[in-house]
Structure 1
């Protein structure tokens, strides 16, 4: 449901494609989409694979980075890598080639994996928001309930749920014969009825976009509200007003980036699919859908930048893992795990892991 199943000559092209087909005696025209979209997909794939691989490397390399939140970030990076490797190359071929050339099995598998990974990504982002809200608002209580086993259980449940709920895509995806400057083969969704197709599209819109967006927004709004209030939990360290205000401003900026990124990357394609499901079909909508696909795919490449490298701990761990890259910025060696003064001092390496993570999350890193 997330990906366009045909190339620029698909049934959404409307009258323009019909006119071009009627001209006869010529091969398919070479449109800008045929090279521009695959080039953009290739850039997304390169940046996404490098960025997500670095996230996994940094977390697994440094013991201080093995926190509950970073477990979710690694799960998100793994999902993005799976999506980039298994789906993006096949989708890129739809634009320069007139037909689907990979057979019916790959037609079902590629579209199924796209739905699974897109759904797993969005639900993982929601789980991260709930987790960060919980640990920021109830830091001491969260130390008792937030365990690696719980994080693993949630991540496995997300994957199992995504695999099961995406089954209709694999069942109803099939090859269909078509005509566009000659006989062609398209990889399309063929539901038993229009009502069933609309129901699944509405479900996909809710599960993959609207509910995660509402969850992310609500969690961070509640978190910011509570950060501006005095703590009600005993023994919780209180920050000076100036430092607390700076911290809230920093977290607020990150919240705006997170919500805007999710809204911009996933909104266009979901709205286009929803409009198309209710009978709106035009060449303009088809072109908007191509742009929407590019935006949704780019989410897999920018996730590492927003959810990992915007945090000070990730940046310092990355510098520690690849010091040669940052020789031009060296001002002395920085130990992994230390925090900047603006973040409330240092986290001692001997401090309990839960306290370090609580400080890490409360600072919005």
Structure 2
């Protein structure tokens, strides 16, 4: 088959070599990603919905788990759910249908949702890293804010709401400029795609947007997070010299905060790995003037991997939390495998029953000891009075001698 022109649609991740509409559709159906990607996205949708939905339900059912780091984790879960519900069902069909079939409104919503979700994720991870840094480096200040209770919670909620507002503001260009673009060859429309870069803004606009997104959504936040963790590591190394003089309660607090810091670090590493291939390909394609001519199998595979990892990040966070946090693991097991996991309520009732029986036995023993002591005193008093007064009447009842004077 001879091909006259190659059109690469990066935003919707379709690489199409076309001569006519029939040739385009035939090439489209022959690609393996046309069948592989929708299957992967189905798993992402199911796992992400169940995982993040269960995480949100855990927080709503267990109010005692609402603390500073968990508020940020809840915000992450809500951002991932937003992406999964409003974007993944539509974006996944790019590989199953030749053209965008959902119209301009869904196009704008889908592109804006991607930016909102990634903004919420990366800015929340930055806030979590800062929170862990101050919790470990300045524990007395953190303990004081924790004792404040409502004040610390209100401040954290305000930060989370501000993050969402900032993410929405950053997504406004995608919501405004995204449109359904027609790709044509010789005045023949081959396909339509959801495209966030309007042609009237010129070729420099896509380059500027890709570079700004890389800096604002990836490089700068990860650099800030890295600085927090480097300073945190330096503090922990220095503080090991003073551990013998630290009281046991403070050691437990330090261990708990280090565990939460490791959980946040796992989230950060997952985010960095999932979004790196996508940003590398976008920068190469839009900034490199010869990218269309140099496009080969390597860049095609990298583009596909980046596309899949970009959306898989929305379902990996609950899995990472399940693996690194024993507390959340117990709640996840109870939430998802309630028919298999033994209910803690039954254990509590059993334990309470045992304690009740045990306490009842102890109370009974105390009563018997008190009665025995009382009877012994009575017998001693009777014995003394018998000596003093021989007319004392002795009454035996229940194996005990009771003196009636």
Classify the TM-score, shorter chain: 0.7 to 0.9
Point out where structure 1 has 5 or more consecutive residues left out of the alignment.
Answer: 336-365
Look up the match of 1:163: 168
Q: How far apart, in 2, do the equivalents of 1:261 and 1:60 lie?
A: 26
Cα distance change, pair 69–246 in 1 and its aligned pair in 2 (3 A): closer
Q: CA RMSD in A?
A: 3.6
Look up the match of 2:306: 292
Look up the match of 1:119: 119
Look up the match of 1:222: 231
Cα deviations by residue, 1:186-217 (Å, 9 ceiling, x for unpaired): 21133402223322211110111112222222
Cα distance change, pair 136–19 in 1 and its aligned pair in 2 (3 A): same
Cα distance change, pair 26–156 in 1 and its aligned pair in 2 (3 A): closer
Cα distance change, pair 21–286 in 1 and its aligned pair in 2 (3 A): farther
SS at 1:178 equivalent = strand
Matched length: 324
Contact 1:73 1:307 in 2 (8 A): no
Matched, 1:99 2:99: yes
Contact 1:266 1:295 in 2 (8 A): yes
Contact 1:224 1:252 in 2 (8 A): no
Look up the match of 1:45: 45
Look up the match of 1:306: 320
SS at 1:94 equivalent = helix
Matched, 1:6 2:12: yes
Q: How far apart, in 1, do the equivalents of 2:260 and 2:202 lie?
A: 47
Deviation at 1:60, TM superposition (A): 1.9
Deviation at 1:222, TM superposition (A): 2.1
Look up the match of 1:187: 194
Cα distance change, pair 155–172 in 1 and its aligned pair in 2 (3 A): same
Q: How far apart, in 2, do the equivalents of 1:334 and 1:211 lie?
A: 48
Q: Which stretch of the first structure deviates more once superposed, 303-312 or 147-156?
A: 303-312
Cα distance change, pair 151–18 in 1 and its aligned pair in 2 (3 A): same
Q: How far apart, in 2, do the equivalents of 1:127 and 1:245 lie?
A: 19
SS at 2:191 equivalent = strand
Cα distance change, pair 333–230 in 1 and its aligned pair in 2 (3 A): farther
Contact 1:217 1:259 in 2 (8 A): no
Look up the match of 1:197: 206
Look up the match of 1:356: none
SS at 1:183 equivalent = strand
Structure with the bigger percentage of helix: 2
* Bigger radius of gyration among the two: 2
Cα deviations by residue, 1:77-132 (Å, 9 ceiling, x for unpaired): 01100100100111011001110111111111111111111111111111111111
Cα deviations by residue, 1:5-41 (Å, 9 ceiling, x for unpaired): 33534xxx4xxx1368695896853321111101101
Deviation at 1:50, TM superposition (A): 0.8
Q: How far apart, in 2, do the equivalents of 1:245 and 1:96 lie?
A: 51
Q: Which stretch of the first structure deviates more once superposed, 190-199 or 93-102?
A: 190-199
Look up the match of 2:360: none
Q: Which stretch of the first structure deviates more once superposed, 250-259 or 38-47?
A: 250-259
Look up the match of 1:150: 155
Q: Which stretch of the first structure deviates more once superposed, 92-101 or 132-141?
A: 132-141
Structure with the bigger percentage of strand: 2
Q: How far apart, in 2, do the equivalents of 1:107 and 1:34 lie?
A: 20
Cα distance change, pair 162–55 in 1 and its aligned pair in 2 (3 A): same
Q: How far apart, in 2, do the equivalents of 1:25 and 1:122 lie?
A: 38
Greater RCO (CA < 8 Å, at least 6 residues apart):
1
Cα distance change, pair 95–320 in 1 and its aligned pair in 2 (3 A): closer
SS at 1:6 equivalent = coil
Cα deviations by residue, 1:324-358 (Å, 9 ceiling, x for unpaired): 4554899x9489xxxxxxxxxxxxxxxxxxxxxxx
Cα deviations by residue, 1:292-343 (Å, 9 ceiling, x for unpaired): 011121111111122465212222333455674554899x9489xxxxxxxx
Q: How far apart, in 2, do the equivalents of 1:249 and 1:134 lie?
A: 12
Look up the match of 1:346: none
Q: How far apart, in 1, do the equivalents of 2:93 and 2:205 lie?
A: 29
Look up the match of 1:362: none
Q: How far apart, in 2, do the equivalents of 1:7 and 1:321 lie?
A: 36
